[in-house]
Amino acid sequence: MKTLSRTLSATLIGLALGGAMVSSAEACTRAFLNTDPGNIISARNLDFFGPVDPALVITPRGVSHNGGDDAHAAHWKTQYGSVVIYADDAFPMDGMNEKGLAGHTLFYTNGSQEQQSNQDKPVIESRAWLSYILDNFATVNDAVNAIQHDVRLVAKKMPIDYASDTKHIAIEDASGDSAIIEIDNGKVNIYHGKQYQVMTNPPSYDQQLKNLAKYSHATRDQIPLGLDADQRLVRATFDLKNLPKADTKNQAQGFLLSVMHNIEYPIGTPTGPHEKPVIDAYAKYSKNPQFNKGIGTYWTTLSDLSHGEYHFKSTFAPSQVWVKLGDINFAADQPVRKIQHLNDYAEKGWEGNVLAQAQPVK
């Protein structure tokens, strides 16, 4: 099992040699609280060498999107408005839509990530996976059905100098439904059901589930305390199972954040000598290297699917900011808007609703 640093090091070394890099080298965690029908909430940690200059992009209905540069790429217009985090202003990695469907892409690799089936279907390159899902579907079931039958998924390095696309996807909706989508040696494997609450990183989800089963009757002192991907998955699953029922929305959000805090990397987690060249290589491609403080959990997002809220909590400050999707006009005549440098709001002491800071994209 690879640690965060070893996983990132191996990935970044290859990316540095190939002139590419970014959130596909993440080692992150997604956890889904779906046992209380009134408080269906997901959260995601970004564990990396830096915060990837997150921007919050608000996309209305009716915007033309495509599946990439492939000659057979899919084309569509957004059916549902969404709020999405973009990494380094390059591609979407986390967000939710107005119907209460949320999605998250995390680092993952297991052989070829080019789907071998559905050869006659329109292509969705990995930079567009999240957009395709949030733009077009209201439920996990609808998204899973389309991915199985209507498109072909292809992981492709993006035409920028720091992004690679080894990733897998977690999606969830306001009913509590969930799915994990991975490509293993060219085969798309989908784990669909409410029981799939936690996703981390390699190995394959099938192997993760086999390991998790060993802890089905574990007590607290038997739960692993490390930060390897399998250890985070076991611990987050255990903690979710033992959360008390919340009395309020705020309690539910806070309870889930307590689970996320228990699987975080402190900023500046010590690195070994083999990692220093990798961190230096990443700094060359980072747009804001002054914010790269070493290995750590740089931010957490929280998607409250029951109440239509999307929260962003930066490790650079104790406060958090959010938007309420019910306050957003997603009509087709509205512009795409963006809150650039979202991490800066935390650093400057902002707290609360930041929707008024969204500016039209020119």
State which H helix or E strand residue 277 sits in: helix 276-285
> Looking at residue 47, which CATH number applies to its domain?
3.60.60.10
Strands (E), 49-81: 55-59, 64-66, 75-77
Question: 175: domain range?
Answer: 26-358
Instruction: Encode pLDDT of 61-115 as tens digits.
Output: 999 999 988 899 999 999 999 999 998 888 899 999 999 999 999 988 876 677 7
Q: Is residue 103 in some structural domain?
A: yes
* Total tally of structural domains belonging to the chain: 1
Contact yes or no for 101/171 (Cβ under 8 A): yes
Asked whether residue 325 carries a pLDDT value surpassing 90, the answer given is yes
Q: Is residue 21 part of a domain?
A: no
Residue 120 belongs to some domain of the structure: yes
How large is the average pLDDT for residues 189-193? 98
Q: DSSP readout, 299-359?
A: EEEEEETTTTEEEEEETTSS-EEEEEGGGS---TTSPPEEE-SHHHHHHTT--EE-GGG-E
Q: Would you say residue 23 has pLDDT above 70?
A: no
In this predicted model, what pLDDT tens digit does every residue of 250-282 receive, in sequence order?
Answer: 999 999 999 999 999 999 888 767 666 666 766
Domain annotation covers residue 7: no
Residue 249 lies in a domain: yes
Pairing verdict, β 82-87 and 123-125: unpaired
Residue 205 lies in a domain: yes
Residue 8, phi-psi category: left (phi > 0), alpha (psi -120 to 50), beta (remainder): alpha
Which residues face 30 on adjacent strands?
44, 199
Q: Please check whether residue 271 is in contact with residue 5, taking contact to mean a CB–CB distance below 8 angstroms.
A: yes
pLDDT score for 203: 94
Any domain includes 16: no
What pLDDT digit, counting tens, does each position of 3-19 carry?
Answer: 444 444 433 333 332 33
Residue 126 lies in a domain: yes
Judged by DSSP in three states, 67 sits in: coil
Look at the pTM and tell me if it is higher than 0.85: yes
